[in-house]
Amino acid sequence: MSEEKQVGIVLVSHSGPVAEAVAELARGLAAGGATAPVAAAGGTQTGGLGTSAELIAEAARSVDGGVGIAVLVDLGSAVLTVKSMLAEGDELPDGARLVDAPFIEGAVAALVTASAGGDLAAVEAAASEAYSYRKV
């Protein structure tokens, strides 16, 4: 692995355990070695179901390497929370981008691509392409 900075990944779910599990799954499927930075931001600050701008901002700061952050979300109000944060302009690091992708498959594709050194556009494209994965 080179010393180049990698795109960070933030996984936003209404459930803390779901966000953590998807992050763990993505890490495990991304070759099992060193991966790009990924952080889970699930639930509320008190551990309930919902989304927390504070947890999302904290997760984004923790993965920010200065080359972009792909934010993947699970459900509607998570989308609205992240869109609101992006509109504010000062809650998320520069280069944070909401990615339209399926949550689990997109997270895996994003992390694999970021870990391979892909830039933010490549990470976003890989995650978005996960919509086309067929299961039958």
Sign of CA dihedral 127, 128, 130, 131: positive
Phi first, then psi: give them for residue 135, nearest 5 degrees.
-110, -15
14 is a catalytic site residue: yes
- Tell me if 49 sits within 8 A of 15, measured CB to CB: yes
Interaxial angle between packed helices 103-115 and 16-29, expressed in degrees from 0 to 180 and rounded to the nearest 10? 40
For residue 46, the tally of other CB atoms under 10 A from its CB is 7
- Give the active site residue among 8, 14, 18, 64: 14
Catalytic residues: 14
